[in-house]
Each structure stands twice: as structure tokens, then as C-alpha cells.
Structure 1
Amino acid sequence: MSEGIDLTVCIVNWNARDLLRNLLRSLEVARDELALEIIVVDNASSDRSLDIVECEFSHVTVIRNEHNLGFAKANNQAARRARGRLLLFLNNDTVVGPGTLARMVAFFDEHPELVALGPKLVGADGRPQHTGGNLPTLTALLDRIRFLRWTGIFHSAYHTYLRGGFDPNRGEPVERLTGAALMVRRDQFTSCGGWDESFPFGFEDVDLSVRLRQSGGLYYLAEAEIVHLRHVSVRVNPRFAYLGAEFGYARYLSKHHPSAWGRKLYKFLVIVDMPIRILSLAAQCASNLLLRRRERAWYRYQQLATACGFLVKDMRRFWHC
């Protein structure tokens, strides 16, 4: 039973104490506008994130994990505990302005044909981010292969997937929405199976969009705005993000691309491309060290180590994902 709760906000946290505090503070206004429930799932943070939740936000429901279970599994934990008729999956590096959630809930109530809704996301500089659009095709993802990207053959397909036709200042139906701020009807979310936990990091929101569209429309609501700092998790744990993204792209094609040869071709090309990426990352790491850009050098080194590890120990698992 929803017990009259309009919306449950589901937040996954890992070592982002200050960001989490800022987000929860921004949600305080929404508690006066809606019957709101907030659930924080903590993936074994070591920065005492939950101390601030328990001390400053006693109304927030907390789920503690002993290990980092990842984005999808932790969000499913929150969804199972949720009592709201609507769910909002919200990254911990976001800030919600007054009236935003009420506006989104009202739009949902006015459009029963919709199953999912995404707001406009803007960076700290106020610039809008590309948070909705078309579903990716195999040709679009082939542009990620470095030696193919140099040819420019697949640039157009990638641009169509990433940006084609999407105007962040215009609300419209879309094929996919980002998981950074995604509102869904709880019943439809449950019936489609929730987040696919086989996605380690990245592209799980595109997969969810595909499955949600089978029961209703997806809509990008430009009139509702949320600040999104973006890529915080990537910067904190670049190894996990880099490897997770590779598995995410391949897993998406395994589930949704109709051609078996196309799925195998993509994986084969990623494997062939990996030594080229390693050389490129090594060069970037060295140049950043020479220029005393230590933070950038560290970031590239983490990606380099992950790419090397991919060839040594993760390639077989990647092929069968």
C-alpha cells in the first residue's frame, strides 16, 4: 500500500557525504509540497555518510549495505522498500529546486499514458545536459571503437543517438531517459522487472528505457529543472566506471540487438581495439605527468590499468556477458 505517499525518492550513495547532504537539504522544501518518502541506500561508504543522515535527516529511511552492490541492485533495494505510487531515482550529485518535484508529479497525473518522466538536467554552470533522446544502434556504438572513429564512418550515427534532434529547452516524447533523475510509476517499474542488475555501471538506464516503453510513453519535461554535477562517481572510482561501461554497452547489445553476428562483431572489435586504447592512455598519462597535471595523470593511469586488466583477466567474461 502507498499509504497516501505521492513520491518515493530513491538515492544510492557511495562516499559522497557532502553531496548527499546538499541533495537532502534541497529536498526539504519538497516535503511541504508533496507526501514524500526518501530512501538512501548506502553502498558501504567509508566517509561516514550515514552519520549526517541520521543526525540531520531523521525522517530519511536508510538501507546499509556491507559491500558496494552497484547502482542497479541498490536502486532495486530502494524500490522494494518504497511506498510511493511514483518513484524518483536520483543521483546523489544532484540538487532539486523548489517546486520541481511537485511540477513533475502534476505532469504525470495529467498524462496517464506516460510511464516515465525525466527533468532538464543542468550543470553547476547552468548549461543544460543531454538527458534524453534516441536509442543507440549498433552503428552508433561502433563509433566508440577508436580505430573506426578515426575513419569518421560512424560519426553521424553516433551523433544521432547522442544529440540528434534533442533540444534541452523543449519538452517532448523521447526513446530514452537518463537514470540520473528518472521518475517512473511504481507499478510499471515493478512489472517490467526493475533495474537489470547484470549491468555493473552504465547503460542500465537505456536498458530500462527500452523495457518501460513496452507499457507506456517516456517524456522529457524541460519545465522541471534539476542541477546535476555529473561524473562524480566516475572521478571517484575511474577503474570501476571504465570497466563497467564496457560491459554495459556489450550487455545492452546482447539483450536488444536482434543480430547475433552484430553482437559478436562489436565485442570482437572492442577486444581488437583495446591495445590501441592502452597505447593512447599511456601517452596521455605520460604527457600529463610531464605537464605536472597530477590529477589528470592519476585518472588516466587508473583507466590504463583497467584496460590492461581487461586483456589479462576480463576478456573471457566480457565475451560471454
Structure 2
Amino acid sequence: MLGNSSTTNKAGPELSIIIVNMNHLNKLKNLFNSLFGKEKTARTHEIIVVDNCSTDGSVAYIAANYPSVIIHQNDKVRGFAANNNQGVNISSGQYIFICNPDVIVLPGAIDEMLGFYERNPGVGIVCPQLLNSDLTFQPSVRRFYSLKVVALRVLTWGNDASTNKDIRKYLMLDFDKSKIQFIDWALGAAMVLKRSVYQKLGGFDEKFFLYIEDADLCLRCWAAGHAVVYCPQAVCIHDHQRASMKGVNKLLWFHVKSITYFFYKHQLLWRQAQGFEQL
């Protein structure tokens, strides 16, 4: 492990920011510019990077330029769920911010999410509004899958611009983007949880190597009696590549494997998952 937790105090920081990196040096530069910029959060926090066997100089760059960042280096490649769990296990913050390396945290986003959580302590997961790199809205909040939606997504190669009514409903394309509201789940690129909630849920399910672990975490959050909330006043940019939808490749295989396990795990073959619409 490299670096130190100089941002912590004896009682621990308010927030632990967990970042999983695998050869994302260029993305990390933008993320760290936002986290360490002049409008960074005033909340006490620590930043933990779990490096998944990068070969692009990421670790050396972070150590040289951001010595307060805690770096955990893997000895072998692990999945998204396992890496985030590792990061949380070595963290000490009261709140956990799961943050992808391809995210840019805009001013005030962290404070908005923590503030909402503090005003509504019964919630489970708070998710920001995500924007594409061109600052257009990114459809990052979703309803839970059904077999019909999965089939339609496969047939349309995951096209978010599809006019199909079932896909539009799944992607929540017609909801009020400016309103704080319950959602079934959101992309795991950026989400805040209280540590006690994360521990109650057992963290991410490490049987998901890549993809769908965010939907699974949110479904288990709802099942445990904690709401998943979209907080549009908190805004982040997410440079989302969606590599699994670029033809038949290894990432597509991970996607198929994960969604199959999701349906099996939650016994959803003949029923719909229970989310915010069942409140």
C-alpha cells in the first residue's frame, strides 16, 4: 500500500472516496483535478484508489502528485465488486462514495449527496445526476430488468435512443430529471452510502465480475428497507464508453453472464423485481 491517510483524524473522516483504476491514467487526471480543485468538498475525507494491475503509470502518477491518496495495488486482476469491497474494507469514513475513474465530480456534488443523506437518514443509496462529456443528460437511472426488456436491449444493441416504449420506461427517459425521487437503481459510476448500510448489505456481490453488481446492490437495498434516491442537485460528468455494446467481445460475455446470475439469484424468471413502484 502506498500513500497515507493524512486527511483523516482520530475519529475518522466523514467520507471515504473509493476509486477502482485499471489503466485509466488520462481519466484519473480529470477526476483528481475535480476532487482536489479549489471548489473541492470541505468535508473531511480520504481518497482510496484500488489499482487493478495497471501498466500505464497510474500508480506512479498518483503517488508523485497526490501523496495523501491511499493506494492499494492488486496482485491479480479482480472484478468491480471485489475491488470496491477491498477499498471499503481499508477505509474509515462514515460515508462511502463509490466513484469510477471516468467521472468528474462537479462543484458541490459531494456536499449535496451527504447533505441529503443527513437530512434523510433512513435512505440507503443516494445517486447524482450524470451528464455525458458534452454535458447532455445521461440516462443513468433505471427500473429493474424484466426478461422482455433484456430481450429488447439485446435486439437493439443497448441503444438508449430507442423509441420502444418498454425500453423508454426501463431507462426512465420520461421522468422529471430535475426532481429528487425514488429510483429502482442507478449506474454504479457514482453513488453514496452510509457505511452502516454498506455493511448491512454485505457490500457488492463478488460473484458479479463486471456489470449488474450495481443493480443487485440497489435491489438488496430496497429489500432491506432502505430507499435508493436520485439527487439531481448533485451533478457529475461520466465519460461512459459502454464497451460491452460494441459487438461480440469478452465484455459482452461478462454482461450476459452477470445478468443471467442476477435473474437466477433473485428468482426473477417469472416475476418483476420489487423497487420504488411497490412503495
- TM-score band, normalised by shorter chain: 0.7 to 0.9
Match of residue 36, structure 2, among 5, 25, 28: 28
1:257 CA drift (Å):
3.1
Q: Which has the higher helix share?
A: 1
2:256 matched to which residue of 1? 246
1:42 matched to which residue of 2? 51
Could you give the per-residue CA deviations for residues 145-192 of structure 1, whole angstroms, max 9, x where no partner exists? Answer: 539x9xxxxx43333212254333322111112100011111111111
1:223 aligns with 2:271: no
Q: Distance in 1 between matches of 2:123 and 2:220?
A: 13
Query: Equivalences for 1:278-293 in 2 at 5 Å?
Result: none
Match of residue 78, structure 2, among 66, 69, 84: 69
Instruction: Tell me, yes or no, if the aligned pair for 2:113 and 2:234 is still in contact at 8 Å.
Output: yes
Gaps of 5+ in 2: 1-8, 159-163, 273-279
Match of residue 116, structure 1, among 121, 125, 131: 125
1:166 matched to which residue of 2? 175
C-alpha change, 1:102 and 1:139, in structure 2 (3 Å) is same
Q: CA RMSD in A?
A: 2.6
1:316 matched to which residue of 2? none
Could you give the per-residue CA deviations for residues 263-310 of structure 1, whole angstroms, max 9, x where no partner exists? Answer: xxxxxxxxxxxxxxxxxxxxxxxxxxxxxxxxxxxxxxxxxxxxxxxx
1:208 CA drift (Å):
0.5
Instruction: Tell me, yes or no, if the aligned pair for 1:2 and 1:84 is still in contact at 8 Å.
Output: no
Q: Distance in 1 between matches of 2:206 and 2:90?
A: 17
Q: TM-score, normalised by structure 2?
A: 0.84
2:24 matched to which residue of 1? 16
- What letter is aligned with 2:47? I
1:56 matched to which residue of 2? 65
Instruction: Tell me, yes or no, if the aligned pair for 2:168 and 2:174 is still in contact at 8 Å.
Output: no
Gaps of 5+ in 1: 150-154, 263-321
Query: Equivalences for 1:183-194 in 2 at 5 Å?
Result: 183-194=192-203
Q: Distance in 1 between matches of 2:235 and 2:186?
A: 14
1:115 CA drift (Å):
1.0
- What letter is aligned with 1:9? I
Greater gyration radius? 1
Q: Distance in 2 between matches of 1:113 and 1:215?
A: 9
Aligned identity (percent) is 26
Instruction: Tell me, yes or no, if the aligned pair for 1:26 and 1:97 is still in contact at 8 Å.
Output: yes
Instruction: Tell me, yes or no, if the aligned pair for 2:102 and 2:240 is still in contact at 8 Å.
Output: yes
1:176 aligns with 2:185: yes
The alignment partner of 2:73 has SS state of strand
C-alpha change, 1:235 and 1:257, in structure 2 (3 Å) is closer
Q: Distance in 2 between matches of 1:114 and 1:132?
A: 16
2:4 matched to which residue of 1? none
Q: TM-score, normalised by structure 1?
A: 0.73
1:241 CA drift (Å):
1.8
C-alpha change, 1:203 and 1:232, in structure 2 (3 Å) is closer
